[in-house]
Structure 1
Amino acid sequence: MSRFVLTLACLLLACRAYAAVLMVDTTSDAQLMACDAALPGDCSLRGAIAKANSIAGADTLVFGLVESDPGYQVATAHWRIAPASTLPLIQDDLTIDGYSQAGALANTLAPDQGGSNAVLKIELHGFGSSSQAGLDVGNGNPHLVVRGLAINNFTINLQLQSPGPHVVEGCFIGTDVTGMLGVSASGNSYGIRQRGQATIGGTLPAARNVIAGNGYIDLWDESATSTTQPSVVQGNIFGLAADGSTVLPGQDYGLYITNPVQGSVIGGASVASRNLFAGIETSAIYFTGNTGAANATPIRIQGNVFGTDWSGTLARPNGYFPSSPIQPQPTIVIFRSGACGVVIGGDAPGEGNLIANGAGAGVLISTCASAAILGNAFRGNRIGLDLSPFSLADGATPNDAGDADAGANRLQNSPAIEQVTYLDAGATMKIDYRVDSLPAHAAYPLRVDIGGGSSGQMEVTAFIDSVAEVDAQSLRTVSLPTAAFAGLAPVLTTTDADDNTSEFASDTLFEYGFDP
């Protein structure tokens, strides 16, 4: 079979230069770029990138390495490419396909079946903290597709510059080739630094990335520096090894987003699109940057799992911050000015996140407003929602008379439960509550959601009431089946018409437990 295939493309009578399929057939770091089918061992990764840069058009790099190659690792039956210096910038459209190597297999497990059973055969291994980026996209708007590679031990394992779009799928970023071990304390500072539009992962099992073992940030999204096009992050494992259960220590942040592009999606309503964030020492997701846009095009964080293994049953906490255990960190932080421009969860089936076992708050909204937090399941967090007027968490905020204070989500007052009465021999729960929020201090109508839990948790919320301005501060009543709470105390939240969700209701009514 030919190892160097040329194709000719013409568009509107203007022919482009040949695009190529180049087969990397040596792990040598020399700039071997003949890539001639008649010359085995003549096409290194370094040389193939350089050659692809010289050929206009969308080129593809495949792999055809043999076991006699010096880079073959007998113990793990894979090939290690270890550049001694920075590889050439990728300056033209390029696909690098690690699954083209004989023996490589893409993942076949759905997110609710396990982690990733991908078998990778190509490892790109850096030389520690001085190695800069492993693969690096240059300027000039090239598009990069990377699949089926293990990339580790570079300061930045993968850098996606330019406007994009780029695609990263089926890779292990920051781990060894098995996906089960971190690699080095001296390298692996950043897994992916994204400075252009990108799709990270996808809804197909084969697209799932394991992005873990990176000492500082697994995925750093700075895409707003060069594009206004939204990105998609779906189906990935952050913080855990490929088995979806083993914590790889030393990771500060999972997804860190600076000046996010509005309309970007993290997760989705289907099981196939959910990301798993677990075992991360500070925050699983951290948003910061300039004022967000109105929620007409919010960033959506939906359907993800935080703080457990792949099954959702075993605790794998985020935010435990071992360097300072007395300062646990929130699982999700939205720290922006103006409008937050974020929706966490949603009303449609599957849009709610599971946010569990957080050492600090499940969600911290810091200084910004209009972050709708709906339909999520909070379990076992130190506090479920924390609205703060400052940059740091401040714990539960008591309601104030008339809701006149200001801060994150306007420090929207939560509903105060006045009385619970049982009807129909205990089968029905009648809840009397009020929301002390004057029309001058909240946008009406107010939306009230209910779930079961306590001040630190809340099972999936459900809309129960809409409070019009004429009903402001009036006593409200709702009747629900007692069985729906499964023995948990009712917990209420308020969301005003501008999407400002309150903290959980904090009542002494159930101080000594809940007994229906």
Structure 2
Amino acid sequence: MKTLDSADRLRPQPLPPLRRSTKLLVTAATALMAVLALATTADAVVLQVNSIADTSDNNWGDSLCSTGAIVVDPNLGPRAECTLRAAIEEANAWPGRDEVRFVSSLLYDVNGVAWFNPATDYQPITEPIEIDGTTAPSYDPARTPRVVLVENGGSYGLNLLPTADGSTIRGLTFGGFFYGIYLNGTDGVWIDRCAFGVHDHVDPYMFRNANGVGIHVNIQATNTWIGAKVQNGAFVGLGNTISGNGVGIENAGTNTHVVGNKIGTDPTGTRREARVGALGQLFTLGNTADGIRVENGVGLEIGRVLVTGTLPNLSFVAKGNLISNNGGHGIDIVETSNQPTLPGMTIVANQIGTDTTGLLDFGNALSGIYVSDAAADLVIGNLLPGGANRVAGNDGDGIETGLGGVGDTVIEGNFVGVAADGISPLPNGFQGIRLDGGDPVRVEANVVGHSPNHGILIGNDPLQSVGTVRVIGNFVGMNESGDALPNGLSGIRVEEGDVTIRDNSVGNGQTGIAIAEGASLIDVFSNYVGTDALGRDQGNSGAGILVTSTVGGNEIGALGKGNVIGWNGGSGILMDQAANANLVVANKIGVHPNGIPMPNENHGIRMRAGAGTFPAVIGSDLTTSSLDFEERANRIAYNVLDAISMQDGTEAAIRGNRITNNGSLSIDLNENGNTPNDFGDADLGANRLQNSPELDPVRTRVDPVTGELLVEYRVTSDVGNAAYPLTIDFYLADPTGLQPLTYLGSDSYPAAEAHLQRRVQFTPVVPIPVGLQNIVATATSALSETSEVGAPVAVPEPGLAAGLAAGLVGLLGFTRRASRSA
């Protein structure tokens, strides 16, 4: 049943027979009432609908809405019958922008509803028109409109053609049509206070009568407003309720504005289901497919932030849509055509997947926002007050891009997976933000939390390709106040793409940042991982940064752009599963920049078995100038186990770092504790178990006059077992006396002097403090294999002969003397 009333009840009832003496009066009254049924203003007419019948106008173009029949108004007596069909026909035939209103003499049911059942489509609207259902005396802005159009044989509720530019459709309910409203090449049409697909009965009951598509804006249509619009610097209008259809809004037009609507819920945004009639079963109010489907996004606005005033006294008013409870995506961008001279799409200030309070889960069945094949530029969210979208509670991903979109995409300032209180979980079903397509894409200043999988996932689909991605300044797994919003797996995971991850705060997940197997050339700069700018514990349960990239070339930190990594349950940085040629520079691992200890519960940096055939660089490599060592140094401190741990089969150059107060070794090759030097160095393992330098405690001292450091040492590696020359780095030890805290200088140990004592004297990069200090050293082969830290020697030693020759010059002013060891 599509109507509550039978066809007989919908017909206008015949009048009783008139006496002959009144015939002339009736004839005159008919003409008079036809005139009174409209009021003329310049070229426009006001057509007052007083009948729910479906009869056509009897004389198109005479400016009179009359079917030729008579209805009796309880207050005004006999009137010329004006049906909605007749009003549309007369408005089309009469030039100018005509108005259609609904009067009290309409047949309303006990709930104040006037039911219109067109047997065929109404005539397409070809002239500007304003159809205003809010003029019905039973109109209530808190409920769906009382003027209801229910399909009884047509495809279109209303069909507006190009010559109907500037029309307004207000205060109507549409049900059962293929298209509730179809805009066919129009310009400047405004649709407001209407309902599509559902309508009120007796609260809390509703009727559902789905349209295939609530509103369709075709590709020739321009400048359409759906919901509130901007007039004279302010929003006007209350928005529409678009629920219970197949697709809520289908847009292929240009410069379409969708503002202030409820899409998938009741008019209040507080109910996601209702009963059919007083005794009926519950049904969902959502559209069965997408809430909004975008087939052309040029100039599309879904939500708006209105900026008024002048600097510095600007004011901001945000008005978005509630897009929730739909059977497909909340917003589905399925195809766009890039037109560089026209603006792209903006999606701002919306709540997608929640109720109107932002506290309850009204999720869409797929993703909140899904972008596929998008060629126009797209902005999702902005940083203006109120411009953020809240995308939460959806059964798929919060925001997903896919299928190779090529326009610029910006996702900024949104709250993903988080309720309106900023803390409570309203998780999306998979990832918070998933990027499988788009080039370029910028993800900036979002709060992403409570995802069961990853907070941000980049490049997961092998059939799609993502291009340049910048992930900047987001709070992932936490909010700005430091509240934990844990994601189930990684905060940020990268599987492909040209990706830069910088200035983010990432914590409270399983892994902070993961660079996966297919990723390469990923830059990870200036992030807080497992903590935030204040040093609070936001630790991930596993590694802070996990690298399993087999291609390699990733950079974790850079000059002046190191990461701060602490409080993690695993290692600060874990390189695993054939991770190749990664650069780890200028990071603070286990310690905050302000010096606060933030220990990682495992190692500071760990390279696990199979971590690649090309060595990593931790700090500086063999080509780095010693002048750059300090800026490139990783500061690795207070971690529970080793500062740097390497399993068998891993390789790394480890030079110039500042290491202190870690629970075990500074560098642990093979993860078996201190590895003694073996004479000849034939053993194998991590970094081929390169032997460390053996410093002579008697002949190593500080010149008390010049401050130069004189060191005598040897390395017991056969030429066949180590790649010569070896680079020997000397450090001032930390307060424990064992860990290399401050780089002092280097020497080159040639193959010709293998096993020989070698003496060097140089001015340290940093003056050695007065008092007993420990010196330690490492050896790095020509293949970038660094040894463990050798046994320390104390300088100056009391009782040393003062006569060791001075003035020798080596690297940084060394003089060398080789001699056989005793």
TM range (shorter): 0.5 to 0.7
1:147-186 deviations in whole A, cap 9, x for unaligned? 11111122311111122342210111111134322225xx
Matched residue, 2:345: 95
**Partner residue of 1:276 out of 505, 529, 534:** 505
> What's the CA shift for 1:240?
0.6
Say whether 1:317 aligns with 2:560: no
Say whether the 8 Å CA contact 2:523–2:555 is kept in structure 1. yes
Residue 357 of structure 1 aligns with an amino acid whose one-letter code is W
For residues 310 and 41 of structure 1, do their structure 2 counterparts lie closer, same or farther at Cα, with a shift above 3 Å needed? Answer: closer
How many angstroms apart in 1 are the aligned matches of 2:258 and 2:401?
Answer: 32
Superimposed CA distance per residue, residues 222-270 of structure 1 (whole angstroms, 9 cap, x where no aligned partner): 1674336321111111111232x11124532111122x22x42111xxx
Check the 8 A contact 1:92/1:143 in 2, yes or no.
Answer: no
Aligned counterparts of 1:221 and 1:412: Cα–Cα separation in 2: 37
Counterpart of 1:230 (choices 468, 471, 477) is 468
Is 1:389 aligned to 2:609, yes or no? Answer: yes
Distance 1:502 1:27 in 2: 68
Q: Is residue 195 of structure 1 aligned with residue 454 of structure 2?
A: no
**CA shift for structure 1 position 303:** 1.4
- 2-side partners of 1:482 and 1:495: how far apart? 24
The alpha-carbon deviation at position 466 of structure 1 amounts to 8.1
Q: Residue type matched to 1:356 in 2?
A: G
Contact 2:725 2:782 in 1 (8 A): yes
Judging changes above 3 Å, is the alpha-carbon distance between structure 1 residues 482 and 216 closer, same or farther for their aligned structure 2 residues?
farther
With normalisation by structure 1, the TM-score equals 0.64
Cα 1:177–1:352 change in 2 (3 A) is same
- Helix, strand or coil: the match of 2:455? strand
1:138 and 2:360 correspond = no
SS in 2 for 1:232: strand
- Could you tell me how far apart the structure 1 residues matched to 2:380 and 2:483 are? 25
SS in 1 for 2:303: strand
**Matching residue of 1:377:** 588
Rounded Cα–Cα distance in structure 2 between residues aligned with 1:246 and 1:63: 29
1:158 equivalent in alignment to 2:430: no
Unpaired runs of 5+ residues, structure 2, are: 1-165, 169-182, 189-218, 228-238, 265-285, 307-318, 337-343, 382-387, 591-598, 613-644, 648-667, 794-822
Q: Is the 8 A contact 1:179 1:242 kept in 2?
A: no
Percent identity between matched residues is 16
Residues 509, 365 of structure 1: CA spacing in aligned structure 2 closer, same or farther, 3 A cutoff?
same
Which letter maps to 1:332?
I
Name whichever of 45-54 and 366-375 sits farther off: 45-54
**1:49-68 counterparts in 2 under 5 A?**
53-55=294-296, 57-63=298-304
CA displacement, residues 19-60 of structure 1 (integer Å, 9 cap, x when unaligned): 657555346545554999999977748999877624463422
Deviations 1:316-345 (A, max 9, x none): 222x2xxxxxxxx221111133x4221111
Whether 2:326 is the aligned partner of 1:84: answer yes
Which of 434, 449, 456 does residue 212 from structure 1 map onto? 449
Q: Which has the larger radius of gyration?
A: 2
User: Which structure 2 residues correspond to residues 27-66 of structure 1 after superposition, within 5 A?
Assistant: 28-30=242-244, 31-33=247-249, 44=263, 53-55=294-296, 57-63=298-304
Letter in 2 for 1:137: V
Cα pair distance change 1:433/1:38, threshold 3 Å: closer
Q: Which amino acid aligns with 1:314?
A: R
2:416 is the alignment partner of 1:173: yes
Counterparts of 2:586 and 2:718 in 1: how far apart (Å)? 22
CA–CA separation in structure 2 for the residues paired with 1:27 and 1:427? 82
| Distance across 2 between alignment mates of 1:431 and 1:21 | 81
2:529 corresponds to 1:306: yes
Matched with 2:633 is none
User: Offset at 1:374?
Assistant: 1.6
CA distance in 2, matches of 1:493, 1:125: 59
Question: What SS does the corresponding residue of 2:494 show, helix, strand or coil?
Answer: strand
Q: 1:84 Cα shift?
A: 3.4
- What is aligned with 1:106? none
Q: 1:370 to 1:216 in 2, by over 3 A?
A: same
Give distance in 1, aligned partners of 2:773 and 2:439. 42
Question: Counterpart of 2:479 in structure 1: which amino acid?
Answer: A
Q: Secondary structure at the match of 2:333?
A: coil
Aligned residue among 326, 342, 345 for 2:554: 342
In structure 2, the partner of 1:72 is none
Find the aligned partners of 1:472 and 1:232 in 2 and give their Cα distance.
50
TM value normalised by structure 2: 0.43
Tell me, yes or no, if the aligned pair for 1:284 and 1:331 is still in contact at 8 Å.
yes
Note the 1:296-445 alignment, pairs <5 A. 298-311=521-534, 313-318=535-540, 320=541, 329-337=542-550, 339-346=551-558, 348=559, 350-366=560-576, 367-379=578-590, 380-381=599-600, 382-390=602-610, 396-398=668-670, 405=684, 418=695
Relative distance call for 1:288 and 1:305 in structure 2 (3 A) is: same
Work out the CA distance in 2 between the residues paired with 1:58 and 1:439: 69
Cα 1:58–1:306, aligned 2, differ >3 Å: closer, same or farther?
same
Q: How many residue pairs are counted as aligned between the two chains?
A: 430
Structure 1 counterpart SS, 2:294: helix
Larger CA deviation: 413-422 vs 144-153: 413-422
Q: For the residues of structure 2 that align with 1:432 and 1:22, how far apart are their CA atoms?
A: 83
Alpha-carbon separation, structure 1, partners of 2:220 and 2:733: 63
Q: Against the structure 1 CA distance between its residues 38 and 454, is the aligned structure 2 distance closer, same or farther, given a 3 Å change threshold? A: closer
Superposition CA RMSD, Å: 5.3
Match for 2:583: what amino acid? Answer: A
Equivalent-residue separation in structure 2 for 1:214 and 1:84 (angstroms): 20
Q: Is this contact kept in 2: 1:199–1:233, CA < 8 A? A: no
- Native 8 Å contact 1:29 1:83 kept in 2: no
Unaligned runs of 5+ in 1: 8-15, 66-76, 102-120, 268-273, 321-328, 511-516
1:124/1:150 contact within 8 Å kept: no
TM superposition shift of 1:200: 6.3
Determine the C-alpha separation between the residues in 1 that align with 2:167 and 2:712. 76
Letter of the 1:283 partner, please give it: T
